[in-house]
Chain A
Amino acid sequence: MALLLENGAVVTDPWTVLDDAAGSDGIPEGPVIVSLERWQRDRAVLELRNAPLGIRLKSHQLAGEIAADLDRFGLVVLELPKFRDGRAFSTARLLRERYGFTGEIRATGAMIPDQFLFLVRCGVSSVEVPDNADLAVWRHALTEITIAYQAAATADEPLSLLRRRLSP
């Protein structure tokens, strides 16, 4: 998996995904990502750790479910089980706009490059793409459309009427 930032840059992923089945003593050092179920189950243990914590939401697990705990997380991972399942777009937006989350929001799962710009506009800050993905296509997808007709989670330059220019 390659990790692409919202500006198209490729970065190495500092996070480790913690298997739900792994016991509490087996938690590695450094930043880990847990499922919502694991967070709810092992919260006491996880909170004692001295490293960043990320949480991973399935598409039906909506923003409201973690809203009260958001200050515990440095990362929220949103899963798209199918690229047609657009719930993550609302989840990202709510995390940013309603709950004021400023950490990383990462999209993972079945996505197509053509969704990259929409994800970013909804507040997603990184996407996890397959190793064989054509990164040029992904990057290009951010630049194809430079005008939007509605406000969203990211900054933009208002033009006349409903229109805004998206900053590259």
Chain B
Amino acid sequence: MTHLGSESHAGVYRYDDVDRQFVFERVEQFRGQVARRLAGTLSEDEFKPLRLMNGLYHQLHGYMLRIAIPYGVLTSRQMHRLARIARIYDRGYGHFTTRQNLQFNWIKLAEAPDILRELAEVDMHAIQTSGNCVRNVTTDQFAGAAADEVVDPRVYAEIMRQWSTLNPEFSYLPRKFKIAITGSLTDRAAIEVHDVGLRAKRGPDGAVGFEVFVGGGLGRTPFIGKPLRDWLPEADLLAYLDAILRVYNQWGRRDNIYKARIKILVHELGLPALRERVEQEFAQIRGPRYRLDPEIVAAINDHFAAPPFAEAAVSVSGSLDRHPELPAFGHWLETSITAHRQPGYAGVTISLKPIGGIPGDLTADQMDAVADLAARYSFGELRVSHAQNLVLPHVREDALFDLWQALGPIGLATANVGLISDIIACPGLDYCSLANTRSIPLAQQIGARFSGPGEQQNIGDLSIKISGCINACGHHHVGNIGILGVDKHGVETFQITIGGKVGTGAALGAVIGPAVAFDQVATVVENLVAVYLEQRQAGEPFVDTVARIGTRPFSEKVYGIAA
């Protein structure tokens, strides 16, 4: 095989002895904490933030472990280890989340330290995947591969991962704190719905700097992030983040958990006043001790060097055999391929949304198989996308057909990425103790309605996002069609919004009318789609039609028929 890749070229931050010592110390620390809890010397109240900062939640079925996949990057070896953990410690599968992490839902407390040790052996951990601290930094799933990339965001995501890890000052914040970074023209990291969003860009002289957004977030009070600073020099990244976090730590509300996120502080103080506090703090922190040294950036950058792309691939660039005799391959190509910066290569998205399946779930066998495919076709590297799909970032164009053929038998060739059945759904009543409604079964029903051949392709780009309660884990506010589960006197009902979107020019959706019953939701979606198909102009995606004609025609169709 010519395109056989070696994992040693995967673009990941490679641990050395210092990093390894750190994660193993952390595992042993947690083992001690669990022992104190089991012995009763640590109360549940005291143990809770400690376990949360190690990714351990208590949920409907017991403990759930959320494993950090820093900025969504994984190697084949790490994926094999996740498969092993799924088999030994869980029920043979795992769940990829919208924050580029992986969750196991059936964990035993006493075994959690052993799982963390298994992770540490492959340079992984579950640090700060929960708790009122700086969470896993997320980024573009095509980082380092996208044709439109200006700055590689992984380098800065890794720097922020390190800086935030066990940060002594910012581990007991008013509430959790999420940072996302993009380095491309197209924002695939949803930076405007994070506590802090960063857009890495280049100045006239080519130097790296950042545009900074603050106070975005969904949940019960959704806000789009506000522009805090247009240009932050690279060297000041950490000092400026320290300043934001320090202002938040001191003045963020601690009296009401629902008002504790930084978005509320931004809202209550107003952006100018917040900016003034941050800038004042920054002016004083700035200095040699907290400057991000260019040598450190360069050293971390080395970890993300491009893999050794094959010279030969350049010549096949653009001459892809689309196998017209196999339309299914053509459909898959249309939805699954993203332009790569390297001629002859493509980024491939693997849908984790088979029709009728559970969005984001992957079995241990699938994990092993996909890890092998990554080793074979993508330099041993995988990504997790915030839409709960997987990505093989660097696949040779002339290997796409082989890859597709290998994905089919393991159930991973669904050609629906970006289409109506590529649904984001939170765990809902099936797993979550806060849920009002089911969420996964709804995704399954809707997907089934649009499973006819070519039907989804005809509809084109359309995102459906479902949350089983106001906490908005499914990002319903920014779905082109958003579905929110509400409890009406013990009956599951669903509020429908349209027109939401993420990425550049993020927007919150508008409610189309009264909430509907579980059995009606799929029909409502069909009606919304019908209005769009009637009204769309050439090349106009669903969300643009909504913006052009407003919600009214949609409401009329939906409630006219229901009445």
Given contacts A86-B172, A86-B249, A163-B162, contact A146 B289 (CB under 8 A): no
Asked if A160 lies at the interface with its beta carbon under 8 angstroms from chain B, I say yes
Q: Which stretch, B17-25, B398-406, B497-505, touches the partner chain A?
A: B17-25
A145 near B22: Cβ-Cβ < 8 Å: yes
A145 near B41: Cβ-Cβ < 8 Å: no
- What residues of B have a CB within 8 angstroms of the CB of A115 in the complex? 172
Q: Which stretch, B27-35, B365-373, B550-558, touches the partner chain A?
A: B27-35
A147 touches which of B18, B36, B169, B172 (Cβ 8 Å): B18
Given contacts A98-B284, A122-B168, A137-B36, contact A162 B18 (CB under 8 A): no
A52–B28 alpha-carbon span in the complex (Å): 42
- What residues of A have a CB within 8 angstroms of the CB of B46 in the complex? 83, 112
A160–B173 alpha-carbon span in the complex (Å): 28
B289 touches which of A91, A151, A160 (Cβ 8 Å): A151
A90 touches which of B19, B50, B169 (Cβ 8 Å): B169
A121–B171 alpha-carbon span in the complex (Å): 12
Residue among B25, B33, B173, B250 with max Cβ neighbours from chain A (10 Å): B250
Residue among A115, A148, A149 with max Cβ neighbours from chain B (10 Å): A149
Given contacts A90-B169, A114-B50, A118-B171, contact A147 B300 (CB under 8 A): no
B280 to chain A, nearest CB (A): 11
- What residues of A have a CB within 8 angstroms of the CB of B26 in the complex? 145
A165 to chain B, nearest CB (A): 8
A148–B165 alpha-carbon span in the complex (Å): 8
A145 near B166: Cβ-Cβ < 8 Å: yes
Against A, the Cβ 8 Å flags (1 = close, 0 = not) of B158-201 are 01001101111111110000000000000000000000000000
Asked if A150 lies at the interface with its beta carbon under 8 angstroms from chain B, I say yes
Given contacts A137-B36, A146-B21, A147-B22, contact A85 B172 (CB under 8 A): yes
Asked if A3 lies at the interface with its beta carbon under 8 angstroms from chain B, I say no
- What residues of B have a CB within 8 angstroms of the CB of A39 in the complex? none
- What residues of A have a CB within 8 angstroms of the CB of B290 in the complex? 151
Task: Tell me the interface secondary structure of chain B in the complex.
Answer: helix
Against A, the Cβ 8 Å flags (1 = close, 0 = not) of B294-316 are 00100110000000000000000
Asked if A144 lies at the interface with its beta carbon under 8 angstroms from chain B, I say yes
B163 near A89: Cβ-Cβ < 8 Å: no
A91–B249 alpha-carbon span in the complex (Å): 10
Asked if B246 lies at the interface with its beta carbon under 8 angstroms from chain A, I say yes
B171 near A86: Cβ-Cβ < 8 Å: yes
Q: How large is the interface on B (under 10, 10 to 19, 20 to 34, 35 or more residues)?
A: 35 or more
A86 touches which of B173, B284, B299 (Cβ 8 Å): B173
Asked if A134 lies at the interface with its beta carbon under 8 angstroms from chain B, I say yes
B166 near A148: Cβ-Cβ < 8 Å: yes
Asked if B76 lies at the interface with its beta carbon under 8 angstroms from chain A, I say no
Task: Tell me the interface secondary structure of chain A in the complex.
Answer: loop
B57 to chain A, nearest CB (A): 17
B168 near A118: Cβ-Cβ < 8 Å: yes
A163–B41 alpha-carbon span in the complex (Å): 33
B254 near A85: Cβ-Cβ < 8 Å: yes
The total of Cβ contacts below 8 Å across the A-B interface reads 99
A115–B46 alpha-carbon span in the complex (Å): 11
Against B, the Cβ 8 Å flags (1 = close, 0 = not) of A114-157 are 11011101100000000000100100100011111111100000
- What residues of B have a CB within 8 angstroms of the CB of A83 in the complex? 46, 49, 172
- What residues of B have a CB within 8 angstroms of the CB of A118 in the complex? 166, 168-169, 171
- What residues of A have a CB within 8 angstroms of the CB of B25 in the complex? 144-147
- What residues of A have a CB within 8 angstroms of the CB of B28 in the complex? 144
- What residues of B have a CB within 8 angstroms of the CB of A41 in the complex? none
A91–B172 alpha-carbon span in the complex (Å): 13
B163 near A150: Cβ-Cβ < 8 Å: yes
Given contacts A144-B25, A144-B28, contact A84 B172 (CB under 8 A): yes
A114–B53 alpha-carbon span in the complex (Å): 12
Asked if A27 lies at the interface with its beta carbon under 8 angstroms from chain B, I say no
B36 to chain A, nearest CB (A): 7
Asked if B132 lies at the interface with its beta carbon under 8 angstroms from chain A, I say yes
A24–B291 alpha-carbon span in the complex (Å): 48
A76 to chain B, nearest CB (A): 16
B249 near A89: Cβ-Cβ < 8 Å: yes
A62 to chain B, nearest CB (A): 6
- The chain A residue with its CB closest to the CB of B290 is A151
A85 to chain B, nearest CB (A): 6
A160 near B250: Cβ-Cβ < 8 Å: no
B246 touches which of A85, A90, A121 (Cβ 8 Å): A90
Residues of chain B in range 438-496 having any CB-CB distance to chain A below 8 Å: none
A85–B132 alpha-carbon span in the complex (Å): 10
A93–B290 alpha-carbon span in the complex (Å): 14
- What residues of A have a CB within 8 angstroms of the CB of B165 in the complex? 149-150
B249 near A150: Cβ-Cβ < 8 Å: no
- What residues of B have a CB within 8 angstroms of the CB of A44 in the complex? none
A90 near B22: Cβ-Cβ < 8 Å: no
- What residues of B have a CB within 8 angstroms of the CB of A152 in the complex? 168-169
A87 near B22: Cβ-Cβ < 8 Å: no
A112–B29 alpha-carbon span in the complex (Å): 14
A162 near B168: Cβ-Cβ < 8 Å: no
Asked if A17 lies at the interface with its beta carbon under 8 angstroms from chain B, I say no
Given contacts A84-B132, A134-B41, A150-B163, contact A93 B33 (CB under 8 A): no
Asked if A159 lies at the interface with its beta carbon under 8 angstroms from chain B, I say yes
Asked if A48 lies at the interface with its beta carbon under 8 angstroms from chain B, I say no
Asked if A9 lies at the interface with its beta carbon under 8 angstroms from chain B, I say no
Against B, the Cβ 8 Å flags (1 = close, 0 = not) of A71-109 are 000000000000111110111010000100000000000
- The chain B residue with its CB closest to the CB of A150 is B163
Known: A90-B169, A163-B18; 20 extra A-B contacts, CB below 8 A, are A83-B172, A84-B172, A85-B254, A87-B249, A89-B169, A89-B170, A98-B284, A117-B168, A137-B41, A145-B22, A145-B29, A146-B25, A147-B21, A149-B162, A159-B18, A160-B18, A160-B299, A161-B296, A162-B296, A163-B19
The 9 closest A-B pairs by CB, nearest first: A86-B172, A121-B168, A118-B168, A149-B162, A144-B29, A147-B22, A89-B169, A162-B162, A149-B165
- List, sorted by A's number, 8 A–B pairs whose CB atoms are closer than 8 Å: A86-B171, A89-B249, A112-B50, A115-B172, A145-B25, A161-B162, A161-B296, A161-B299
